[in-house]
Chain A
């Protein structure tokens, strides 16, 4: 029996800031202190507060340490683990008085969250099936196989109101029912773990922190729809997730929770992993299945829908990782319990990956209907540096943005669609006054131009033409006509593309045009970038009243564009200026500004 457990985050975020080295140092220091029999070190999945990683929690005290470095480990072992004196300087502090947080659940970051899909992330050892079982793991599967008919299972999922968390928002129970109704000699279950939106890492964290939940849910889905084989399509860029999935599948097979005659019910189910090579289009369901079949990842027209003719031409149910992560909890606690959370037409919770200009970068799970303000200000801790909130981008390259004026919008599928945005898979990028919305639209379009598979011309050629128009606008050569052309083209591409990639690719442009049209107009009429981002439209100027003539700027300018004599105000020759900003950084008198 161990008297203390030390949990260290082994998710991708904390791993990249050395958490594995911390675990190694912990284990050796603990052994050296003769505590190996008393203290257990556990590598968990993501805790969510990635901005403060690497994160460590020491139980039984529940002491929450953040930004731990390998050189801090000795002190933690000597002081806390041996002598019971928590290392105060490493404890997470919050609020204006910088109070020490007593435990994780008491922090502002966690208080407003409600964790269903992430319930085990950062809580259990994902490489140990027993810890998952201890948290009621595989109970839902046992219940389904021994007490329920496939139709019962589908009814519960339908009644729960769960909708697809990959972004589409299609009712999950209905999807399962379609597949179940189609007769075939073979059916499949597919888990879409091809998380491709820039800034999104919800699915990765679930797979890394709680892989057994996905295995259990896919097996349940197989039972409900009559499929005996499943595929998890996961990006090869997620090596930790892949490794933990492999371990988890191995453990489940060893215990007979995957394989033949599960729970003596006569039901067989087997799982395979397929690695994606990182093409964004493979997150689209038909392209994903084409890729699993061993072909080039290109979409195919629907109908026929996967429920009729999916993987290898057989009826297939495809769900996203987060959707599956909710399934065992729904079956265990009943449809009503799940449906009691959220709004009228969006039940349960949604996981968001908070990123951009926000203090608490990380992973949050909130009940549907939470306002954007609560997510950004209360959970996210607000915007650093006292800057003003401008917009939040959701849904990545397929999504739109929520402007500051709509910050009190309650987040659910329908509200976001109503304002011309979308839920998306869960990337939530916060932007402040220093972000240029035209530049943001260009960034996402650049991504889709790169990732367009090329099969249909509206997407292949259209996005490229849109990109050229945006480049023209941001370089100061655009006209008002170009803005109209951009809009017209955007609607055309939306209506005529073959798959979801092209149909949603113009969304970032349309959303920014809707809410920030004046920024586009400023770029073409005034030839100015209000946020000071688009280089071609910027001029660096020296304020003659503030300039003391110290000559620092002239010395640092790589283009020799700054002239002036000592102790007299200097000037910048805009025709020579490269707009590198070096002079502004060097000026001690704040005399140089971008205009």
Chain B
């Protein structure tokens, strides 16, 4: 490892290390993406969806977004289910998610605030 010579180099290490520690942020004002990971969810392929969210959020270096998991949401036929909680807004439930759909949800909904209607329970359960 090379010797640190400037504040800029120290800051570079700080930013890189910080991005790996966001998961430990205790802030309650976060946008939360919650993936159902009960047996039903896992069987339907929730794990790749969860990991795709984690990677996408990290890739875009999004601050204030937390990806976590929960148990069975109760509508097993629609798994993998993903719920998005944005402070001050109504919860949005996405169903039958796949890893391919993740980038769009993060881009449209989390970053730009536009709900991806076609993936929501309202669209798919019809």
Partner among A5, A60, A82, A85 whose Cβ is within 8 Å of the Cβ of B67: A60
Q: How far is the CA of A4 from the CA of B69 in the complex (A)?
A: 9
Q: Do A60 and B23 touch across chains, with their CB atoms under 8 A apart?
A: yes
Q: Determine which of B14, B23, B25, B58 lies in contact with A4 in the assembled complex, contact meaning CB atoms within 8 Å.
A: B23
> Contact between A133 and B10 (Cβ–Cβ < 8 Å)?
yes
Note all chain A residues with C-beta closer than 8 A to B54.
Answer: 1-3, 38
Q: Cβ of B10: which chain A residues have Cβ within 8 Å of it?
A: 133, 138-139, 142
Pair A134/B55 contact, Cβ less than 8 Å: no
Query: How many Å lie between the Cα of A134 and that of B22 in the bound state?
Result: 10
| Interface: B125 (CB within 8 A) | no
What is the CA–CA distance of A7 and B58 in the complex, to the nearest angstrom? 20
The residue from A3, A131, A255 contacting B51, defined by CB atoms under 8 A apart: A3
Say yes or no: is A113 at the interface (Cβ < 8 Å to chain B).
no
Considering the complex, give the chain B residue whose CB is closest to the CB of A105.
Answer: B26
Partner of A130 from B16, B39, B69 at Cβ < 8 Å: B16
Instruction: Tell me the residues in window 70-95 of chain A with beta carbons closer than 8 Å to chain B beta carbons.
Output: 82-85
Interface 9-mer from A21-29, A256-264, A397-405, A477-485: A256-264
| Interface-facing stretch out of B1-9, B85-93, B97-105, B106-114 | B1-9
A123 on interface, CB distance cutoff 8 Å: yes
Q: Which residues of B contact A5 (CB under 8 A)?
A: 21, 23-24
Taking CB atoms, residues of chain A closer than 8 Å to B2 are 256
Residue contact A255 to B1, C-beta cutoff 8 Å? yes
Of listed B36, B50, B68, residue having the most chain A CB within 10 A = B68
B37 at the interface (CB under 8 A from A): yes
A85 touches B68 (CB 8 A): no
Per-position 1/0 for B9-46, Cβ under 8 A of A: 01001101110110111100000000111110010000
Residue of A62, A105, A133, A255 with most partner-chain B CB within 10 A: A133
Q: Which one of B1, B17, B21, B39 lies within 8 Å of A83 (CB-CB)?
A: B39
Among B3, B36, B51, max chain A CB count under 10 A is at B3
Known pairs A83-B37, A257-B4; A1 contacts B71 (CB<8 A):
no
Q: Which residues of B contact A142 (CB under 8 A)?
A: 7, 10
Question: Given contacts A1-B55, A3-B23, A3-B67, is CB(A84)–CB(B36) below 8 Å?
Answer: yes
- Cα distance A123–B24 when bound, in Å? 8
Q: Is A61 on the interface with B (CB-CB < 8 A)?
A: yes
A1-B54, A82-B37, A256-B3 known; A60 vs B17 contact (CB < 8 Å): no
Residue from the list A3, A103, A134 in contact with B50, Cβ < 8 A: A3
Which B42-68 residues sit within 8 Å CB-CB of chain A? 42, 50-51, 54-55, 58, 66-68
Q: In A166-205, which residues have CB < 8 Å from any B CB?
A: none
Q: Bound complex: CA of A139 vs CA of B13, how far in Å?
A: 11
In the bound complex, CA of A133 to CA of B24 (Å): 15
Which B74-97 residues have C-beta < 8 A from chain A?
Answer: none
Cα A82 to Cα B42 in complex, Å, equals 9
Name B7's contact: one of A59, A254, A256, A263 (CB within 8 Å). Answer: A263
Q: Kindly name the residue among A84, A131, A137 whose own CB sees the greatest number of chain B CB atoms within 10 A.
A: A84
- Once bound together, how far apart are the Cα atoms of A4 and B42, in whole Å? 17
* CA of A62 to CA of B68, assembled, Å: 10
Closest to B2 in A: A256
Give per-residue flags for A110-130: 1 if the beta carbon is below 8 A from chain B beta carbons, else 0. 000000000000011000001
Alpha-carbon gap, A473 to B103, bound state (A): 79
Q: Give chain A residues whose Cβ lies under 8 Å from the Cβ of B20.
A: 1-2, 134
Known pairs A38-B51, A85-B38, A139-B10; A254 contacts B1 (CB<8 A): yes
With a cutoff of 8 Å between Cβ atoms, the chain A residues found around residue B13 in the complex are 130, 133, 255
Whole-angstrom distance between the Cβ of B109 and the nearest chain A Cβ: 19
Does A136 lie at the interface of the complex (its beta carbon under 8 Å from any beta carbon of B)?
yes
Interface contact B3-A255, CB-CB below 8 Å: yes
Query: Quick check: is A417 within 8 A (CB to CB) of the other chain?
Result: no
Known: A1-B54, A60-B67, A84-B38. A136 touches B14 (CB 8 A): yes
B23 to chain A, nearest CB (A): 5
Of chain B, the residue at the smallest CB distance from A259 is B3
| Chain A residues with CB under 8 A of B58 | 1
Give the nearest-CB partner of B21 in chain A: A134
CA separation between A259 and B4, bound complex, in Å? 11
A131 and B4 contacting across the interface, CB-CB below 8 Å: no
Contacts A/B (CB < 8 Å), 24 sampled: A1-B20, A1-B58, A2-B20, A4-B68, A5-B23, A59-B24, A60-B67, A60-B68, A83-B37, A83-B39, A83-B71, A84-B37, A84-B71, A104-B26, A105-B26, A130-B13, A133-B10, A133-B14, A139-B10, A146-B6, A146-B7, A254-B1, A255-B1, A264-B5
A-B interface, 4 closest residue pairs, ranked by CB to CB distance from nearest: A256-B3, A84-B69, A134-B17, A130-B17
| B interface residues (Cβ-Cβ under 8 A, vs A) | 1-7, 10, 13-14, 16-18, 20-21, 23-26, 35-39, 42, 50-51, 54-55, 58, 66-71
Interface residues of A (CB under 8 A from B): 1-5, 7, 38, 59-62, 82-85, 103-105, 123-124, 130-131, 133-134, 136-139, 142-143, 146, 254-257, 259, 263-264
Q: Other than A38-B51, A143-B7, give 13 A-B pairs with Cβ distance below 8 A.
A: A4-B23, A5-B21, A60-B23, A60-B67, A82-B42, A83-B39, A84-B69, A104-B26, A130-B13, A136-B14, A254-B1, A256-B2, A263-B5
